[in-house]
């Protein structure tokens, strides 16, 4: 059972089919335009959408709002240093600010970063500093059905080739995203992380963790790698941090917070440079653009998240929904991770070509069917990145599961909606774009059904 009971509740919006159809027309078949009151179950993202614990919420009162040297800052630093072992830890408003600050110091024109898979903002921040972000996913990731448990791994053979080849001097950093969000929420094995760390050490290149989902990665390592059986998720997470030279961390995921993030570093010179950029752009390093209460809530969240009972329950939620999806005959990225399921919309809707966005068509159909909001990860959202180097190999629909928010009854409702759509999949029609910005079109582009 869930290892908590519910103390504060909020009504679920309920809408009719006709209201949802009108809403889709109004927002141009782009679910980002919906008001949250039009959404019954919101699986758009697991970022900043979780429920706070009573202890986190108590910090709304006890948070220390002093500009410098606050109790809340001390709390944040104590927890962050204990978790990561990095001597320099800075609070930031969210993950992408940590990326922006770090890459302003690390990346310059002509340099490259290598990763198992850069998250979109990570890629954009490398690019904004004149660098190029190159993904080196392991070969197993290409096979959606493969049950290989660590499909988030980096391809260490290619990593070695680049680090020690003619391009080696251009590498500014290696970034390991745990878990690999863009790559189907798949975990990274500790052995993969260790080999990567050894290669980086040998070449003198910093290894940075994008640790937004460090606890979920630790859980999956503990479950799927016999060498780590019997260890706590916290011990496994601590070991992962120890292998790297620093981290960028969005606390909106495994910080169990609504806002916040963390930049952690070992190198004093790099930390000093980052601190300067942080102070000039985001806030003094004792609060990093956050309120004192947020620092406390993040600190508390970073402790609660490695509770094995919480992580087990979260894994079981994902597994429960995955079973319903499989029973409906819908394929997805296997094995399911913890934060999201990635349905194979391309396989479910083979009559819709990538140019008509099967993932987005499925997202709209799921909203129309049951008021469920999800997000496309395919040609619509990723296909406009052109020379930024992203190749869209699968048309996926991501169902992200907010933390501690929905019960299994809610997930059963989602499963039933997916089964109904699967039964009439051949009637789902594709979409075409009628209006789009020059990049990041997923946020604002408008679409129409091709049949209209």
Ligand X SMILES: Cc1ncc(COP(=O)(O)O)c(C=O)c1O
Say whether 32 sits in a helix, a strand or coil.
Answer: helix
Contact pick of 73, 90, 119, 413 for ligand X (by CB under 6 A): 119
Cα distances (angstroms) measured from residue 413 to each of 30, 40, 312, 369: 22, 10, 22, 11
Is 96 a binder of ligand X (CB under 6 A)?
yes
Identify the residue among 107, 212, 257, 321 touching ligand X (CB under 6 A). 212
Greatest Cα-to-Cα distance within the chain, rounded to the nearest angstrom: 61
The binder of ligand X chosen from 40, 70, 113, 121 (CB under 6 A): 121
Task: Map the footprint of ligand X across residues 155-194, applying CB under 6 A.
Answer: 177, 181
- Nearest approach, Cβ of 402 to ligand X (angstroms)? 13
- Minimum Å gap between C-beta 193 and ligand X is 15
Decide if 252 contacts 214 (C-beta within 8 A): no
Choose the binding region for ligand X from 91-99, 327-335, 384-392, 407-415 (rule: CB under 6 A).
Answer: 91-99
Answer whether 101's CB lies under 8 Å from 368's CB: no
To ligand X, the closest distance from the beta carbon of 86 in angstroms equals 17
Q: How far is the CB of 55 from ligand X (least distance, A)?
A: 22
Nearer to ligand X, 250 or 282 (CB): 250
Minimum distance from CB of 424 to ligand X (Å)? 32
User: Given the complex with ligand X, which of 63 and 95 has the nearer CB atom?
Assistant: 95
Instruction: Please state the closest distance from residue 275 (CB atom) to ligand X, in A.
Output: 19
What does 206-256 look like in DSSP terms, one character per residue? -EEEE-TTHHHHHHHHHHH-GGGTT--HHHHHHHHHHHSSEEEEETTSTT-
Structural contact between residues 252 and 119, judged by C-beta atoms closer than 8 angstroms: no
Q: Which is nearer to ligand X, 113 or 356 (CB)?
A: 113
Nearest-angstrom CA–CA distance, 162 and 372: 43
When asked if residue 356 is in the footprint of ligand X (CB under 6 A), the reply is no
Total of residues contacting ligand X (CB under 6 A): 14
**Smallest gap from residue 294 Cβ to ligand X (A):** 12
- 47 belongs to the binding site for ligand X (CB under 6 A): yes
Structure-block tokens of residue 163: 């680090």
Q: Which stretch binds ligand X (CB under 6 A): 55-63, 67-75, 93-101, 279-287?
A: 93-101
CA dihedral 127, 131, 132, 137 (to 10 degrees): -90
Which residues, at least 6 apart from 300, have a Cβ–Cβ distance to it below 8 Å?
53, 55, 56, 59, 79, 256
Nearest Cα neighbor of 10 from 42, 32, 33, 34 is 42
Question: Rule CB under 6 A: which of 232-271 touch ligand X?
Answer: 250, 252, 261
**Dihedral (CA of 98, 198, 138, 386) sign:** positive
d(CA 405, CA 223): 24
* 46 versus 395: smaller Cβ distance to ligand X: 46
Nearest distance from C-beta of residue 96 to ligand X, angstroms: 3
CB of 119 to ligand X, least distance (A): 4
Burial of 5 by CB count in 10 Å (0-12 exposed, 13-18 middle, 19+ buried)? exposed
Which of 64, 135, 210, 317: binder of ligand X (CB under 6 A)?
210
In the complex with ligand X, the residue whose CB is nearer, 124 or 324, is 124
Please, which residue, 177 or 186, has the CB nearer to ligand X? 177
Residue 135 in the binding site for ligand X (CB under 6 A): no
- Residues in contact with ligand X by CB under 6 A are 47, 94-96, 119, 121-122, 177, 181, 210, 212, 250, 252, 261
């Amino acid at each position: 059972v869930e290892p908590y009971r519910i103390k504060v509740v909020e009504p679920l919006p309920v809408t009719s089919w006709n209201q949802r159809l009108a809403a889709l027309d109004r927002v141009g078949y782009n679910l980002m335009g919906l008001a949250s009151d039009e959404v019954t179950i919101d699986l758009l993202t697991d970022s900043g959408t979780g429920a706070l614990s009573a202890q986190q919420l108590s910090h709304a009162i006890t948070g220390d709002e002093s500009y410098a040297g606050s109790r809340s800052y001390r709390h944040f630093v104590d927890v962050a240093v204990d978790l990561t072992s990095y001597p320099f830890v800075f609070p930031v408003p969210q993950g992408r600010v940590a990326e922006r600050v770090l890459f302003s110091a690390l990346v310059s024109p002509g340099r490259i970063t290598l990763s198992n898979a850069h998250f979109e903002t990570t890629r954009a921040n490398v690019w904004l500093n004149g660098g190029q972000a190159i993904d080196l996913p392991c070969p197993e990731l290409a096979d959606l059905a493969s049950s290989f448990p660590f499909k988030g791994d980096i391809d260490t053979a290619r990593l070695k080739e680049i680090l020690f080849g003619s391009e080696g001097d251009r590498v500014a950093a290696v970034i390991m995203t745990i878990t690999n969000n863009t790559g189907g929420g798949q975990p990274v094995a500790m052995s993969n992380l260790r080999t990567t760390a050894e290669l980086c050490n040998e070449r003198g290149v910093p290894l940075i963790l994008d640790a937004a989902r460090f606890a979920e990665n630790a859980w999956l390592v503990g479950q799927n790698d016999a060498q780590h059986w019997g260890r706590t998720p916290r011990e496994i997470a601590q070991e992962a941090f120890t292998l790297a030279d620093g981290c960028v961390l969005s606390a909106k995921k495994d910080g169990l917070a609504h806002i916040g993030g963390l930049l952690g570093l070992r190198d004093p010179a790099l930390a000093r440079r980052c601190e300067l950029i942080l102070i000039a752009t985001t806030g003094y390093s004792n609060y990093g653009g956050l309120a004192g209460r947020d620092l406390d809530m993040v600190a508390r969240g970073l402790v609660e998240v490695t509770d094995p009972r919480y992580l087990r329950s979260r894994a079981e939620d994902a597994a429960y929904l995955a079973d319903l999806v499989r029973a409906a005959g819908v394929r997805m990225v296997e094995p399911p991770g913890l934060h999201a399921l990635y349905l194979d919309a391309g396989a479910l809707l083979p009559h819709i070509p990538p140019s008509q966005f099967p993932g987005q068509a499925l997202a709209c159909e799921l909203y129309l069917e049951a008021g469920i909001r999800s997000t496309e990860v395919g040609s619509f959202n990723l296909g406009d990145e052109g020379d930024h180097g992203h190749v869209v190999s699968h048309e996926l629909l991501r169902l992200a599961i907010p933390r501690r928010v929905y019960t299994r009854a809610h997930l059963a409702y989602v499963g039933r909606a997916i089964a109904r759509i699967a039964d009439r999949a051949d009637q789902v029609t594709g979409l075409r774009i009628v209006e789009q910005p020059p990049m990041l079109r997923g946020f604002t582009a408008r679409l129409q059904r091709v049949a209209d």
